[in-house]
């Protein structure tokens, strides 16, 4: 039966150009037995070189040039080639489904055989830690038939997309829901820009707490503070207690409060600590897969505290020849790719420059180390604190880039902050009156193109 389906697949690949282009990217020589694999490799090599399948005569000539094709293997190979005759009665859709099922079965079988080698200690390179990845890769084998969106023919799919309610992760803060049309979508990178001590970690801890209480699964990755310090901030938020009172709580009372939180939500929150500058998306990816495998935990949102102290999985750090622009841009692209791979929104933060630290009207130009970060982010906003705002227990938020909504609508607004409880909250509408007015664009010298520079960099709001 196996030989029959293998021959049938190769026959259709040779005679049906449409079928060949649909399936050949997913076929692997190791799926076939030795003789069929020999024929397939020659066919695939011909396609790679000439972008079309060889006819029977060309395939025979190519095979005859192989010195190691002799004996019983040669007889089997030429018997297969003789059977590669077009069959007009074959149903292409049926064969496509059969070929996909056959590839899936072969991938699982080979993965099991490889796993046995690993378990027996006979594998040359892999250890038992690789078993989950081996099996997961085999189980993910699938023929992806999507080869692009046809603008004319696929108009119905496009229309349905326009009217589909996109899944979003909502905030518990009114104005953040306004500027994002109800929350951030999956597969996005959302960046907080602020100076030291303004509230980057406070913002992420507050949002993580709010997500948890909404029944969401939350993964918080920290490279700046210890796991316990992040958990302490979240405790203060969800228990509505000042941070300095947590250590005075009796154990029984603390346990009771944690149990009440567990009763209020179906979500989980995992905090994972990495050394500063030592972790990159490769570590995060492994963590996500390990959590799914060992704890059945799949996050609805990921917080990374924070981007600039991550490392890049593609580039060496400053000890090499890479500049900070390229390095930070690479890290941002990798994290956004991780968000797309695992279908989650990711929040992270970055520092302002030294000049932006005391700036009351922070702009994209105040992003430290790399201007490539704003180019990669889907949403980027600044948190601004002044002495006047601190006295009012408020933080100003300024939109810098927004792919979800018009960034000029509600460009600036304020939110309340209770630093002792690590909480953020909505303020009265009257408090928004002054900041809702657009600040005038300051006069700046003409640049080399003869136009005045702007601080909002609106060309990034796409």
Query: Where residue 328 falls among pLDDT bands split at 50, 70, 90?
Result: confident
393: which residues sit within 8 A by CB, 6+ positions away? 416, 417, 418, 419
Distance CA 307, CA 172 (A): 24
pTM: 0.65
- Give the start-to-end residue ranges of the domains of the chain: 2-139, 168-460
For residue range 17-65, list pLDDT tens digits in order.
888 888 888 899 999 999 898 889 989 888 888 888 888 888 888 888 8
Does residue 183 surpass a pLDDT of 90?
A: yes
Distance CA 195, CA 362 (A): 10
ω into 306 cis (within 30 of 0): yes
Residues 123-149, mean pLDDT to the nearest whole number: 79
CATH number belonging to domain 168-460: 3.40.50.300
Q: What is the pLDDT of residue 320?
A: 54
Residues 172-188, mean pLDDT to the nearest whole number: 93
Pairing of strands 184-185, 188-194: unpaired
User: What CATH superfamily is the domain 2-139?
Assistant: DNAb Helicase; Chain A (1.10.860.10)
Does residue 366 surpass a pLDDT of 80?
A: no
Q: What is the pLDDT of residue 462?
A: 42
Does residue 235 surpass a pLDDT of 60?
A: yes
Does residue 165 surpass a pLDDT of 80?
A: no
Residues in the chain: 462
């Amino acid at each position: 039966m196996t030989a029959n389906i293998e021959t049938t697949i190769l026959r259709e690949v040779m005679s049906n150009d449409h079928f060949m282009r649909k399936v050949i990217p997913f076929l692997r020589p190791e799926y076939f037995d030795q003789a069929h694999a020999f024929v397939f490799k020659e066919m695939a090599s011909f396609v790679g070189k000439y972008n079309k399948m060889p006819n029977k005569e060309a395939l025979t000539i190519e095979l005859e040039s192989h010195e190691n094709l002799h004996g019983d293997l040669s007889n089997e190979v030429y018997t297969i080639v003789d059977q590669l005759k077009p069959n007009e009665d074959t149903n292409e859709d049926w064969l496509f489904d059969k070929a996909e099922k056959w590839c899936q079965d072969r991938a699982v079988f080979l993965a099991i055989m490889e796993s046995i080698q690993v378990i027996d200690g006979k594998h040359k390179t892999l250890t038992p830690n690789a078993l989950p990845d081996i099996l997961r890769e085999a189980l993910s084998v699938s023929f992806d038939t999507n080869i692009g969106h046809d603008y004319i023919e696929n108009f119905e799919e496009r229309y349905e997309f326009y009217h589909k309610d996109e899944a979003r992760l909502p905030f518990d803060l009114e104005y953040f829901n306004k500027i994002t049309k109800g929350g951030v979508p999956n597969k996005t990178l959302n960046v907080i820009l602020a100076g030291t001590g303004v509230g980057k970690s406070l913002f992420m801890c507050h949002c993580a707490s709010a997500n948890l209480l909404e029944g969401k699964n939350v993964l918080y990755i920290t490279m700046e503070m210890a796991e316990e310090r992040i958990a302490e901030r979240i405790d203060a938020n969800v228990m509505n207690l000042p941070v300095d009172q947590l250590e005075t709580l009796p154990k029984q009372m603390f346990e009771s409060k944690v149990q009440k939180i567990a009763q209020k939500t179906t979500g989980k929150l995992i905090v994972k600590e990495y050394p500063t500058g030592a972790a990159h998306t490769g570590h995060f990816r492994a963590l996500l897969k390990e959590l799914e495998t060992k704890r059945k935990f799949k996050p609805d949102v990921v917080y990374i505290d924070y981007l600039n102290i991550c490392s890049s999985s593609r580039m060496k750090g400053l000890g090499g020849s890479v500049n900070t622009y390229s390095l930070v841009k690479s890290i941002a692209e990798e994290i956004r790719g991780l968000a797309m791979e695992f279908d989650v929104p990711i929040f992270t933060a970055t520092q302002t420059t030294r000049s932006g630290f005391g700036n009351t009207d922070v702009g994209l130009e105040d992003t430290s180390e790399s201007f490539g970060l704003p180019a990669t982010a889907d949403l980027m906003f600044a948190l601004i604190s002044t002495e006047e705002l601190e006295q009012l227990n408020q933080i100003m938020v300024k939109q810098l880039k927004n792919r979800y909504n018009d960034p000029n609508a509600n460009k600036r607004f304020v939110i309340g902050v209770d630093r002792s409880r690590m909480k953020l909250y909505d303020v009265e509408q009257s408090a928004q009156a002054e900041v809702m007015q657009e600040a005038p664009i300051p006069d700046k010298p003409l640049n080399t193109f003869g136009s005045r520079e702007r601080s909002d960099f609106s060309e990034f709001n796409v």
